[in-house]
Structure 1
Amino acid sequence: MDNTQRFTAEAERTPTNRLVERLLADRHSVPLSIALHIVPGALIVAVYAFIAAPFTRAIGYPPFLAWAIALTVVLYPVLFGLLWLGRRRTGRSSLRGVLHYLDKPFSRGRIALIGIGLLIYMTVVALALVPLDNLVYDAAFTWIQYEGAGGSATTYLDGYSQQSLITTLLICLPFTGFTLPLIEEFYFRGFLLPRLPQLGRWAPLFNTVLFSVYHLWAPWTVLSKIVFLFPGVWFVWRKHDIRATIWMHPGSTLVGTVGGIIALSMGAI
């Protein structure tokens, strides 16, 4: 290729094409990866503060619904962005070629057992570490004063009628109860984690820490999230099977949301 041809080829690489190339590269730089981990969390906080919280306050519903709205507004476009990248790579809207760890090296039965074990671990440890969340909140984050802030696992729901709580959880069930955590697993574990080969065995810890920090709306939970998320993230990185954390993360939120609805309906809480 002579200089004229090389110049023409470079000119044809539009900013959009260069962005696609950077995002779909086998390796993301550490600064790029940090930005891709944290920016969605910042957008979620912004949507909550300026759109979702005023709306739920106006209709008298818990802040949990506001966070569900904010997460939906940000994470569904993230999913559509991944599908768009798939279309740019393969010619059709698909996560294949964009996400890694989809090859299913384990049988369904075996990965189900592993996933259920991780689900139980995450649920039990997350509940056990609520006192740690309270301690960190009281020590460092009492200056965060938005409605629902606090270390308790139910703070976003406290102080509302049983009917409004049940309605809120039923509305949120298909979203915060499953699909939004599923999108998070696709994005953080299937898209970002595999593109950190330069970090070697530190990649799963890096991903776990940044995913925990991504929850900017609850920074007092970062330590506990690292503890209960890391085994699943490490497993996915080591064994290349994203189904493990799909069982663990969306599975845990689904169980928790359904359990909350049942408990409220029976008057147990």
Structure 2
Amino acid sequence: MEPTRKPMSSTTAGARPSRIVERLLADRHSLPLSIALHLAPGVLIVAVYLLISEPLVKSIGYPPFLGWAVAMLLALVPFELGLLLWLGRRRNGRFSMRGVVHYLDKPLPRRKLVALVIPLILWFLVVSSVLTPMDNFFYESLFRWVPFEGAGGGVTDVLSGYPHAVMVTALAVCIPLTGLSLPVIEELYFRGFLMARLSERGRWAPVVSTVLFSLYHLWAPWVFLSRVVFFLPGPWFAWRKKDLRVSIGMHAGTTFLLQTFGTLALLLNLVP
């Protein structure tokens, strides 16, 4: 007689999940846990920048601006994407984000998605530009002590003083990183994984998510308030429509456009 087999659990090969995995994959995260998961990658990015990437890029004659892209590549990717894949492996027995990242069912038709994302990108671009003087005010008033080289200035200010070819290369290298792939990973992590587990906050979940996401940017605290304002609609509509592509489209779409056109403008000498 064939022995009775126990059904497979949601973790690898039916193994009992660890308490850490259970807490991370729970339908809801406590607020302290959510705060820790939001801020931890920001702390790691700053540490990698100060200890590794800033000295590295300066030693090869490139601006510290590029060091942030390198720091995110070395810290953001392993922490955020690595955590999601690890949890997917523990839950599904393979590297899958099913059950880990939510809002992936694509309920919005493509036409409605595009019609929603384009105004969100315009909102992001216009409002962030309008609020730049406020960012500068906060930097000059409260954050001049921040030790990051080039802090508080625009991209052209950070790059000034370097050869034209170096400036173009630094911006071009950032297009596939800070312009596209890293924002997508951030949306998977912060919206699909963390915001989806703020369900007990109800309609405040997108607000809490946006506030904590803005705090996560420890390398630019003077932009906190404006980032909450220009970023909130993306998470809110992603939560409202249950479609992660909304916030991905706004976030990655905006950063990709800014990086690409900024690089082209510099390449064509359209900016000083």
Matches within 5 A, 1:137-148: 137-148=139-150
Query: In the alignment, what sits opposite 1:249?
Result: 251
Query: In the alignment, what sits opposite 1:26?
Result: 27
The whole-number CA distance in structure 2 between the counterparts of 1:151 and 1:162 is 18
Query: In the alignment, what sits opposite 2:3?
Result: none
Query: In the alignment, what sits opposite 1:17?
Result: 18
Q: Does 1:120 align with 2:141?
A: no
The whole-number CA distance in structure 2 between the counterparts of 1:102 and 1:181 is 16
2:134 alignment partner, SS class? helix
Q: 1:221 aligns with which of 220, 223, 243?
A: 223
The whole-number CA distance in structure 2 between the counterparts of 1:87 and 1:145 is 39
Query: In the alignment, what sits opposite 1:5?
Result: none
The whole-number CA distance in structure 1 between the counterparts of 2:125 and 2:159 is 19
Asked if structure 2 preserves the Cα contact closer than 8 Å seen for 1:236 and 1:244, the reply is yes
Asked if structure 2 preserves the Cα contact closer than 8 Å seen for 1:134 and 1:150, the reply is yes
Please list every run of 5 or more consecutive structure 1 residues that lacks an aligned counterpart in the other structure: 1-12
Matches within 5 A, 1:203-214: 203-214=205-216
Query: In the alignment, what sits opposite 2:137?
Result: 135
Please list every run of 5 or more consecutive structure 2 residues that lacks an aligned counterpart in the other structure: 1-14
The whole-number CA distance in structure 1 between the counterparts of 2:199 and 2:59 is 47
- Counterpart amino acid of 1:18? R
- Counterpart amino acid of 2:217? H
1:145 CA displacement: 3.3
The whole-number CA distance in structure 1 between the counterparts of 2:173 and 2:241 is 35
| Greater mean deviation of Cα atoms: 128-137 or 154-163 | 154-163
Q: Deviations over 1:121-171 (max 9, x none)?
A: 111111221111101101100111321111535443233222111111122
Query: In the alignment, what sits opposite 2:59?
Result: 58
* Alignment RMSD: 1.6
The whole-number CA distance in structure 2 between the counterparts of 1:151 and 1:85 is 38
Q: Deviations over 1:173-202 (max 9, x none)?
A: 111110001100000000000101111111
Q: Indicate how the Cα distance of structure 1 residues 42 and 233 shifts in structure 2: closer, same or farther if over 3 A, else same.
A: same
1:235 CA displacement: 0.8
Q: 2:195 aligns with which of 189, 193, 196?
A: 193
1:91 CA displacement: 1.4
The whole-number CA distance in structure 2 between the counterparts of 1:171 and 1:68 is 9
How many residues are treated as equivalent by the alignment?
A: 257
Query: In the alignment, what sits opposite 1:160?
Result: 162
The whole-number CA distance in structure 2 between the counterparts of 1:155 and 1:200 is 42
Asked if structure 2 preserves the Cα contact closer than 8 Å seen for 1:133 and 1:151, the reply is no
| Greater mean deviation of Cα atoms: 126-135 or 38-47 | 126-135
Q: Indicate how the Cα distance of structure 1 residues 128 and 154 shifts in structure 2: closer, same or farther if over 3 A, else same.
A: farther
The whole-number CA distance in structure 2 between the counterparts of 1:151 and 1:226 is 20
The whole-number CA distance in structure 2 between the counterparts of 1:194 and 1:253 is 23
- Counterpart amino acid of 1:68? A
The whole-number CA distance in structure 1 between the counterparts of 2:160 and 2:190 is 30
The whole-number CA distance in structure 2 between the counterparts of 1:30 and 1:262 is 43
The whole-number CA distance in structure 1 between the counterparts of 2:174 and 2:188 is 20
1:23 CA displacement: 0.6
- Counterpart amino acid of 2:94? R
The whole-number CA distance in structure 1 between the counterparts of 2:219 and 2:73 is 15
TM-score (structure 1 length as normaliser): 0.92
